[in-house]
Structure 1
Amino acid sequence: MKHIYTDLAVESKEIYNPEKKKEIEGVSVEVADEKNYSVTTVKVLNQKGSQKIRKPLGTYVTIDVPNLDKTDEDLKDEISIAFAKELKALIKEYKKNKILIIGLGNWNISSDSLGPKVIDKVLVTRQYFINYNKEFDETMANVAAISPGVMGLTGIETFDIVKGIVDKIQPDILIAVDALSSRKMDRISTTIQISDVGISPGSGVGNTRAGLTKETLGLPVIAIGIPTVVNAATMVNDTMDLIIHSMKEQAEIGSEFYSLLEGLSKEDKYKLIEEVLSPFMGNVIVTPKDIDVLIDDLSIIVANGLNIAIHPGIDIADVNRYIR
């Protein structure tokens, strides 16, 4: 059976639980609704749950903000604070005196440049700790950050670069930021996912590289991502659902046909659509036309949230005044 590409755990749960009424064994879900956003926490508790939604054991926090792609400064600040709160909660059990932040992706491709642009805005402090021979500071964490690029630019696997840095500077925790793939257009640039299971760069578009995980690097790895692309076949699949529903309601004759189409599973519809599209479009990835502006805004939100979460003495006023 063809797997529908998505990096979001909340979407994997939706795919394998379309009626959204019956919980999947081995997966727990909690939803908290706020005025401008909602927070969904998906926990994959055992191997059965992992196999069902095709995600590793761990916690996945998804912040859905319908208007996140709008240029509203107050909303950006609100989501930066909300994101920082969720990140703090996820890393609170870990030692984090020394933090390494990795911005994954290709800075030459707009839809894949989220990670590098976040790195440009995070507050890096490791040099001060070295220069002043400090081990700890009450207001700042010891933070190093780098964008390692992609193999097509460097000729080196991202994992090899990151592993070399980890072995050299020995951080307590690694935070990786990357652009993700979604299976719903309305989640593009409006959803932030945080997880404690690490990340496999390129997995959402079928180009999986060596994973950055606790098992491979020997330290906790927190992954942060925002969907910036969607597979063309999944976009057509969602459009087809809307058309079928509309035509079924309006059709006086042939409603049984539309009911039959409506009864197809998402995987079967996806496979059918992909087979139809493949001679003409191949494996096409779609992104919004204003992705440059969106990435700039989203990188500010993520960087501000990171700075607030990892530096005890920094708040939203500080990042707006000095860092943005």
Structure 2
Amino acid sequence: MNLDFYKAFGINVDLAVEAHDIVRGQMGREIPGVVVDREKYENASVTIVKVVEDSAEQLMGKPKGNYITIEAPALRDNNRAAHQQVAEILAQKLASLLDIPEDANILLVGLGNWHATPDALGPRVIDHSLVTRHLFKYAPEELKGGMRPVSAIAPGVLGITGIETAEIIKGVVEKIQPELIVVIDSLAAGSVDRIATTIQIADTGISPGSGIGNKRTVINKDSTGVPVIAIGVPTVVHAAVIAQVTVEHFLEQLQANPMLYQIYKNLRPDFTQEVINNVLQPFAGNLMVTPKEIDSLILNISKVVAGGISMALHPSISAEDYNMYLN
């Protein structure tokens, strides 16, 4: 699939690694102004995409900054050891983006709708996160060295609260004056393989809902006055993407029969797009797909993400201490 397909259906690419692959495939060469590094672990692979020039920002549709993608298919399995390793990788990569004092005040924001499971990742992560800001005032004896004051909110969505999420965050920021905001949100992927197996960390902030066609106020340093790190996990895929992939695989099979393949080649270039549009027309072309086991997937990955965040923000906390504070 190329950029024209995504533009035709108004699909925003949430994952920088996917945007990079699409643009690079279209150009047929590496993208000037983008640096890519890759790392391999036992249960995960990491791709670091750095957008360093304005021209690359325009080509990829991603603000300049760092995008770290952790791909771990084992997240779908009931494998505690693999989950622990991914949480540790997440902690390590998140810590590499932190440019704050050891006693910095941090705000966690779980974006999304807790009533809709595919969009509930943010609130679920908040449920499992280690918050400590109140302990510094009311129970300092419970604190260990190497812990930071961390507070957390799950502000809901506009349809529930009637308030733009960015407005709620801005109000909280003015009151507690954090030195860093970490937002967690569900993303839309360009492949079903990435659902609940991929974690993206970005130091550029986030535009909530952009992957599913919702245009909300961007949450970044410019809008909040505070550095923002965004952590996202794909939980849905656009139906048009699935349809297009199906067509492409079908065409691969057709090529074994030159006569049938020639019939397809004689059709109008926009024939496939027109058919997909007609199928998705009842949903105005904006139909998102998620697996039926999304409940358990969200539960597992929210614990991994929360654990990784807590280890990064509280470097002295062990897994045993983490569970003790949560309980």
TM-score (norm 1): 0.90
Aligned to 1:238: 245
Alignment partner of 2:100 out of 94, 111, 130: 94
Task: Give 1:94 deviation, angstroms.
Answer: 3.1
**Secondary structure of the corresponding residue to residue 102 of structure 1:** strand
Aligned to 2:3: none
1:160-309 to structure 2, matched below 5 A, reads 160-248=167-255, 250-256=256-262, 271-272=273-274, 274-282=276-284, 283-309=286-312
- What letter is aligned with 1:275? N
Check the 8 A contact 1:4/1:183 in 2, yes or no: no
Q: In angstroms, what is the RMSD of aligned CA positions?
A: 2.3
* Aligned residue pairs, count: 316
Aligned to 1:84: 91
**Secondary structure of the corresponding residue to residue 122 of structure 1:** coil
**Secondary structure of the corresponding residue to residue 226 of structure 1:** strand
1: CA distance, partners of 2:20 / 2:195: 18
Check the 8 A contact 1:5/1:183 in 2, yes or no: no
Comparing 186-195 and 268-277, the one that deviates more = 268-277
Unaligned runs of 5+ in 2: 1-6
Task: Give 1:323 deviation, angstroms.
Answer: 3.4
1: CA distance, partners of 2:124 / 2:116: 11
Alpha-carbon distance change, 206 to 95 in structure 1, aligned in 2, over 3 angstroms? farther
1:101-180 to structure 2, matched below 5 A, reads 101-131=108-138, 138-180=145-187
| 1:138-174 deviation line (CA, Å, top 9, x unaligned) | 3311000010011111111101100000010000100
2: CA distance, partners of 1:209 / 1:281: 20
**Secondary structure of the corresponding residue to residue 231 of structure 2:** strand
1: CA distance, partners of 2:27 / 2:85: 29
**Secondary structure of the corresponding residue to residue 147 of structure 1:** strand
Task: Give 1:277 deviation, angstroms.
Answer: 2.3
Alignment partner of 1:319 out of 297, 304, 322: 322
Aligned to 2:65: 58
1: CA distance, partners of 2:75 / 2:38: 18
Comparing 216-225 and 314-323, the one that deviates more = 314-323
2: CA distance, partners of 1:269 / 1:29: 36
Task: Give 1:5 deviation, angstroms.
Answer: 2.7
Comparing 16-25 and 205-214, the one that deviates more = 16-25
Unaligned runs of 5+ in 1: none
Check the 8 A contact 2:34/2:49 in 1, yes or no: yes
Task: Give 1:260 deviation, angstroms.
Answer: 7.9
Check the 8 A contact 2:109/2:126 in 1, yes or no: yes
Task: Give 1:304 deviation, angstroms.
Answer: 0.6
Aligned to 2:313: 310
**Secondary structure of the corresponding residue to residue 253 of structure 1:** helix
Alpha-carbon distance change, 19 to 151 in structure 1, aligned in 2, over 3 angstroms? closer
Alpha-carbon distance change, 65 to 120 in structure 1, aligned in 2, over 3 angstroms? same
1: CA distance, partners of 2:84 / 2:324: 12
| 1:268-317 deviation line (CA, Å, top 9, x unaligned) | 78844542323344311100101111100011000111111100211234
1: CA distance, partners of 2:323 / 2:134: 23
**Secondary structure of the corresponding residue to residue 122 of structure 2:** helix
2: CA distance, partners of 1:23 / 1:276: 35
Identical-pair percentage: 41
Alpha-carbon distance change, 117 to 48 in structure 1, aligned in 2, over 3 angstroms? same
- What letter is aligned with 1:12? A
Comparing 170-179 and 93-102, the one that deviates more = 93-102
- What letter is aligned with 1:277? V
Check the 8 A contact 2:87/2:308 in 1, yes or no: yes
**Secondary structure of the corresponding residue to residue 76 of structure 2:** coil
Task: Give 1:15 deviation, angstroms.
Answer: 1.5
1: CA distance, partners of 2:135 / 2:43: 38
Higher helix share: 2
- What letter is aligned with 1:214? K
